[in-house]
Each structure stands twice: as C-alpha cells, then as structure tokens.
C-alpha cells in the first residue's frame, strides 16, 4: 500500500477558517503543522510591518495606525488556536512546539516594538495628534500604540534596546518552562488510596477520586490529585490528619521538588531580568514600571489598598483560628492547628454553626443548571440568548452555544470546556479563538471558558461546589466582556484592558449567582428537581462572610509578596524560599495559613507574567465590583434596566475605549470606595 503525500500548501492552519461560525477545522489539525504555520505567519507579519514602516508616503493615521490594526491576521489565527490547545488540550507534541515558539514570538514582538522607522511614524503622529481630526476611539488607539512602544523601549539607544530584546526572549522561555514544570509536578503526583483511607469523604469526592485513579491506571482504587477541586475537597473532608498533611505538603511543594522541575532558579532569574528591564526603561523597580500603565498607577496605591485590608483580615483570621483550635480541643485533639487542618475544621465549624454540609449543597449545583443560570443572568441584564450549537470542537468535553442579542442578531459563539483532564493546565480561564472588531467587517467573537471541575462517573451529572459555581460565573463574566465587545479597532477589543480593571466584569458577575432570583430558580436538586429549601439557601447566603479572614489572608499575603519580590531594585542571587519566608514574616503571616500560591508555583506571576506585580488587581477589582453591584442594590432591582444599560455601555462592551478610571466614573458617576468591599467580606466590624 502506498500513501499519498499531502498536497503542497495543505496546512489547514494557513487558510481562512471555514468551519461553522468561522471555527478552525479542528479535526484536520495535527500538532506538527503548527511549527510551519507559525513560521509562515510570522514571515507574513514581518513583511506587513516592513511595508508600513517603509511606506514612502508621510505618516497618517490610515497608512500607519490603521494599517497596523489590519495586519497580523494570520499570526493572530495561528496563535490563538495554538494557545487555546496549549492550555486546554496539550500533550508532548504541543509542549515541545510551545517551547520552540514562545521565544520566537517574544523576538517577533521585540522587533516590532523596537522598529525605529515604525516608531518614528507613530511618534510623529502622536506629537500632532490634536491636529489629525481623529475621533475619540482613534485617538485612544494612537495613544495606546505610543504608550506601548515607549514602554517597550522604542525611545532608547540601540544598545539598551538589544539588551531589552534579549531579556524579553529569555523571560518568555523561562515563563514557558515555569508553567510546564508546575503542570509536570501536578501530573506526576497522585495520592493513591484504598477504600479504608477515605474516612470523611462524601460520595462526590469518592467518585471523583475513583475516576481519577482509573484514569491513572489504578482501577478500583482512589486517587487524590493536585487539581484544585480534588485536593481542596480532600483537605476539607478527609478525617485522616496524616493523609491531609501528606497531600497538603505535595500541593505546597509544587515547583520546589529539588529535581528537574524545580522552579526556584527560574524565579530568581526572572525577577532579576524584570528588575533590569525596568531600570533600562527608567523605572526604580519592576513594580513601578508595571503599575505605571495600570489603573492603580503606583505600587504605593496598590499597597495602600492591601494594607487597609490586611490588618483587619489578620485580626479576623486570628479569631477564626481560636474557634477552630477550640474545636480541635473539643474533639480531644492534643495538637496545635496546622495549615493542613484549617479547611477540615473550618468545614466542621461551618457545619456546626450553620448546619451546612458541602455534600448537602452540591446536589443543588448541577453544572448544567449553573450554566443555564449564567445564561439567564446575561439574558436579564443584556438581552442575550444562548442556543446549543452542534459544531466540531477540539475535545469531546467542550460544548458550544450560539449567542444572539434581543433582536435575534448573531453576537458570537461561546465555548464551555468545564472538566479537568490531564491534558489541561490547572485553574480556570477565559480565552478566545477570535476577538470582536469592525475594521475587517463585522467580525464576531469566539469566546471560551476553560475550567477544571471534577468529571463525574459515566451517567452521573456533574455537581459543583458553591465555589465552583462562583468560578463558572466569574469566567462567564470575562466571557461576556469578550462577547459584548463593541469597538472598531482590534487592539481595544474586549478584555484588552489593564489587569487591575479586567477582573471587574468577572468578579461583578459572581454577585448575580448569589441573588435570590437566580438561586431560587436554578439551585435545584439534580435528582428530584426540587428547589433548594429556603432554610438551606438562607444559610448559604449567611455563610458568605464565614472564614473570610482566612480567605483574605490567603490571598492578600500573595499580593503583598508579589509586590515585595517585584520591588527589589537589584535582586541578585535571590534565594526564593528565604525571600518568601522573610516577606511573610514582615507582615506577620499567621502560621496556620499558607499562601494561596507559593512562589515556586505562582503561575500568575511567572508562567507568562500577566500578573507579575499585579496580583493585587483581584482585590483592586473587588473594590470596583462590590461598589458596582451596590449600584443595582441602590436601584432596588438586581437587574435594574437603566443600570444594566450603563454597565453594558461603559464596562462590558467598552473594551479599552477609555481610561479605566474614566470608564468607571461614566458608569457609576463617581470613583469607588473600599466600604462595599469591607462589608462584602465582613471585615467592617468594629472589633477589627
Ligand atoms: Zn478572572
């Protein structure tokens, strides 16, 4: 038998996507094609940029800024598809290409931002921007280009630029390695248990552990993995202190194994390189550089907010610890509460105080009901409808819905990929295969939500914890930021806003999950369809501030350590473990609480680096989201149409059209205050 060679140029990655809704031809794609596709797309984009930079005509908005906005389409297509797969359905082949391609992409971006003739054109336009007759959006695009070029070093001498380029490439390589090391540590670890080791575990956790063990080649046994939903339920429910400690240590030690996947040397090098880059660009520290282009503007402003919360949170966590310690004593335990005990005793206390049992709650949070709840919220606020779309996707667990507006007009495609698997990175995120814009016609977005909920056994429905349901709403809020985007220029679309603003649409959306309108309708028992009993519902809502000292400390410590490590002016030969210890000692971190993400596996900071010196932004955004939701409360209607209209206009559909502070003021009529946040977390009591 002979095989027919593929016809030349048949790489499906290089042609326009012609699947339903303009989706890529997933079934025809094999990982090997990516390398060639990247090479071709990079070359094409280089040629486009060279033509714009070398245009003999004097620069104008059309032949420079708008031309840039129209360029790079092939590269956008290949990269967005590749990184969707690299996050949600990766494997050895994709990982190998990712390691090869990341530095190429970084080099490409460098060459772009350090292109002297190109910057000269942008700079010339920027200097006479008021005379160009631009509309507000065009002005914003020009300003953003100028800022980006300057922040990338476009105004520097050649020698400094070369050094910046080398730093960026090296950082890209290190960031990829960091993420892959964490994934490797998570993949390689499983605590294999026997039936007799499961004391305390409710059915859903047993089922998930059984499925995880089968997937790892241990049929009939039980596996606790380092996926958040697996390890967290184990820590919450397992009555076996010895096993909790073992699993918790493995969880904490990700990236710190001492072996080939140890991330500490990578972190030390990344922190040093970031500091050097900031210095080259004229900033005192990386944090100063990073925050200059954020809503917060300075590390002092970010730290000011965190400090305001930290003292109250720590005091409250101290009172929570005393209560848990009392519980240990009541049970006859003769040990000081440790970090691996906190979740277990907190769950017990929650049960005792509110008679609330996570296992009793989960049957009311079936995944499909929560998806429907997120959809109805979008329908009531923004008039959107969601219809299942039978389209081929990259994995059988991923599902798609067509999104339409109140007039039946196509808005975009939404893809939900909810279950954990070994080919998926941990965590939950929103991403896209295509972003909205109007420059190349009415381009409609294709938006994804990727989560890591435990996959149920065959035939069983997926049941979520309340936290999982909150994650679903959170990511869906990001999804709406992409779906509702209504801008002309691609660089301003959807979530392309500063990272201390980007969590506003997602964290704000979580509030609707907790409204009685949504909970009473969608929190229904998966077997009987009965609504959640009112008493249980009331208790869930009453527990919102329970254990918030712990949660706030766990998070805020991370945000403070992040600012600390990125505020080192000359971080030479950094001992990462010692630094973390010192940084935590400085803020008097309670011994019974661990950082939510320790530095060696802190992917927000080091896998890529989107949140480096930016982890504070979740709380910054929480100030915004608490204050923003208060607007609906003040209106006396959780779905108040007038407030929803402004929310859509200035936040969800506005992308990066405005400076974030201006956008917020346009929606709310004023800047936010921290009061609503402290109330929401229950940290506003006088005793704190
Ligand atoms: Zn988010």
* For range 374-386, the mean pLDDT: 98
Residue 688 has pLDDT above 60, yes or no: no
Enter the pTM of the model: 0.82
pLDDT at 6 over 80: no
What's the pLDDT band for 630 if we cut at 50, 70, 90?
very high
pLDDT at position 681 over 80: yes
Contact 655, 609 (CB under 8 A): no
Region 270-296: what's the mean pLDDT? 96
Name the region of 53 (left: φ>0; alpha: ψ -120 to 50; beta: rest).
alpha
Q: Which pair of structure tokens corresponds to residue 678? A: 């402290």
Distance, CA of 92 to CA of 576 (rounded, Å): 29
The residues facing 415 across adjacent strands are 400, 448
Check if the beta carbon of residue 423 is closer than 8 Å to that of residue 90. yes
Structure tokens of 687? 């005793």
Over residues 545-555, mean pLDDT: 94
Under the banding of pLDDT at 50, 70 and 90, the label for residue 685 is low
Q: Which one, of 66, 73, 76, lies nearest residue 141 by Cα?
A: 66
Q: What are the structure tokens assigned to 501, written together? A: 């603003």
For residue 5, the SS3 value is coil
Distance CA 498, CA 151 (A): 14
Predicted confidence band at 110 (pLDDT cuts at 50, 70, 90)? confident
Contact 608, 284 (CB under 8 A): no
> Which residues sit opposite 448 in a β-bridge?
415, 431
Using DSSP bridges, classify how beta strands 446-453 and 410-419 pair: parallel, antiparallel or unpaired: parallel
Going from the Cα of 242 to the center of ligand 1, the distance in angstroms, rounded, reads 34
User: What is the CA(506)–ligand 1 centre distance, in A?
Assistant: 6
**CA triple 433-67-281, angle to 5 deg:** 85
Structure tokens at 245: 């400690």
Residue ranges with CB less than 5 Å from ion ligand 1 = 503, 506
| 592 catalytic residue (yes or no) | no
DSSP string, 186-200: HHH--EEE-GGG-TT
Q: HEC string of 356-407? A: CCHHHHHHHCEHHHHHHHHHHHHHHHHCCEEEEECCCCCCCCEEEEEEECCC
- Condensed to tens digits (0 to 9), the pLDDT of residues 296-344 reads 999 999 999 999 899 999 999 999 999 999 999 999 999 999 999 999 9
What DSSP designation does 571 have?
Answer: -
> Distance between CA 567 and CA 174 in Å, rounded?
20
Q: Where are the alpha helices (DSSP H) in 450-493?
A: 466-483
CA 478 / ligand 1 centre spacing (Å): 7
Mean pLDDT of the chain: 93
- Looking at residue 419, the DSSP 8-state letter turns out to be E
pLDDT in tens, 206-262: 999 999 999 999 999 999 999 888 999 999 999 999 999 999 999 999 999 999 999
In the reported structure, the alpha carbon of residue 270 is separated from the centroid of ligand 1 by a whole-number distance in angstroms of 24
From ligand 1's centre to the CA of 490, what distance in Å? 21
What pLDDT is recorded for position 90?
92
Chain position carrying tokens 């390589």: 173
Q: How far is CA 326 from the centre of its chain?
A: 37
Q: What is the pLDDT of residue 178?
A: 96
535 Cα to the center of ligand 1, angstroms: 31
One of 186, 376, 475, 592 is an active-site residue; which one?
Answer: 475
Going by pLDDT thresholds of 50, 70 and 90, the confidence category of residue 9 is low
pLDDT at 53 over 60: yes
- The pLDDT confidence band at residue 3, using thresholds 50, 70 and 90, is very low
pLDDT tens digits, 449-490: 999 999 998 888 999 988 899 999 999 999 999 999 999 999
């Amino acid at each position: 038998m002979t095989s027919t060679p593929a016809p030349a140029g048949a790489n499906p990655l290089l042609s326009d996507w012609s699947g339903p809704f303009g989706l890529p031809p997933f079934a025809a794609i094999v990982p090997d094609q990516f390398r060639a596709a990247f090479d071709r797309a990079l070359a094409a984009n280089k040629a486009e940029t060279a033509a714009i930079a070398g245009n003999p005509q004097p620069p104008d908005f059309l032949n420079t800024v708008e031309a840039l906005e129209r360029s790079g389409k092939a590269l956008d297509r290949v990269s967005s598809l590749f990184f969707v797969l690299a996050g949600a359905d990766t494997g050895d082949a994709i990982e190998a290409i990712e390691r090869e391609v990341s530095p190429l992409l970084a080099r490409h971006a460098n060459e772009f931002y350090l292109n002297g003739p190109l910057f000269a054109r942008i700079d010339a336009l920027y200097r006479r921007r008021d005379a160009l007759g631009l509309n507000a959006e065009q002005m914003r695009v020009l300003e953003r280009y100028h800022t980006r070029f300057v922040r990338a070093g476009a105004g520097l001498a050649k020698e400094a630029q070369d050094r910046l380029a080398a730093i960026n490439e090296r950082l890209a390589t290190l960031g990829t390695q960091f993420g892959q090391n964490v994934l490797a540590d998570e993949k390689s670890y499983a605590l294999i248990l026997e039936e007799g080791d499961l004391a305390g575990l409710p059915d859903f956790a047993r089922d998930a552990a059984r499925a995880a063990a089968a997937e790892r080649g241990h049929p009939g046994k039980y596996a606790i993995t380092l996926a958040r939903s697996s390890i967290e339920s184990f820590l919450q429910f397992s009555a076996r202190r010895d096993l909790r400690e073992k699993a918790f240590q493995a969880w904490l030690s990700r990236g710190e194994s001492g072996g080939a996947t140890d991330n500490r040397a990578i972190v030390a090098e990344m922190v040093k390189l970031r500091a050097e880059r900031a210095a080259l660009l004229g900033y005192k520290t990386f944090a100063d550089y990073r925050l200059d282009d954020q809503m917060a503007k300075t590390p002092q402003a970010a730290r000011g907010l965190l400090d305001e919360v930290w003292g109250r949170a720590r005091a409250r966590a101290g009172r929570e610890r005393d209560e848990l310690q009392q519980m240990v004593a009541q049970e006859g335990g003769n040990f000081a509460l440790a970090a691996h005990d906190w979740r277990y005793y907190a769950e017990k206390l929650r049960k005792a105080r509110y008679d609330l049992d996570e296992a009793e709650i989960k049957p009311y949070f079936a995944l499909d009901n929560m998806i429907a709840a997120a959809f109805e919220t979008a329908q009531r606020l923004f008039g959107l409808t969601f219809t299942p779309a039978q389209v081929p996707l990259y994995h059988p667990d991923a599902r798609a819905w067509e999104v339409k507006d109140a007039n039946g007009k196509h808005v975009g495609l939404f893809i939900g990929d909810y279950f954990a698997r070994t080919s998926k990175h941990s965590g939950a995120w929103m991403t896209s295969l295509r972003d909205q814009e109007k420059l190349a016609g009415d381009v409609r977005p294709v938006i994804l939500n990727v989560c890591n909920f435990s996959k149920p056994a065959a035939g069983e429905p997926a049941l979520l914890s309340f936290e999982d349901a909150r994650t679903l709403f959170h990511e869906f809020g990001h999804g709406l930021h992409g779906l509702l985007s209504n801008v002309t220029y691609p660089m301003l679309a959807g979530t392309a806003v500063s990272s201390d603003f980007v969590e506003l649409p997602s964290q704000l959306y979580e509030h609707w999950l907790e409204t009685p309108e949504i909970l009473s309708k969608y929190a229904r028992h998966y077997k009987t369809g009965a609504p959640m009993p009112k008493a249980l519902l009331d208790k869930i809502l009453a527990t919102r501030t329970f254990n918030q000292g712990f949660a706030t400390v766990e998070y805020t410590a991370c945000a403070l350590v992040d600012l600390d490590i990125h505020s080192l002016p000359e971080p030479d030969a950094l001992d990462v473990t010692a630094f973390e210890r010192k940084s935590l000692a400085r803020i008097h971190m309670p011994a019974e609480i661990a950082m939510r993400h320790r530095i060696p596996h802190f992917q927000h900071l080091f896998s890529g680096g989107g949140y480096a010196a930016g982890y504070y932004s979740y709380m910054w955004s929480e100030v915004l989201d608490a204050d923003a939701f208060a607007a609906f409360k003040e209106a006396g209607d959780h779905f108040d149409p007038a407030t929803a209209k402004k929310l859509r206009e200035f936040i969800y559909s506005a992308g990066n059209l405005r400076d974030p502070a201006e956008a917020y003021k346009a929606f709310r009529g004023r800047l936010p205050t921290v009061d609503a946040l402290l109330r929401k977390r229950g940290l506003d009591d006088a005793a704190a």
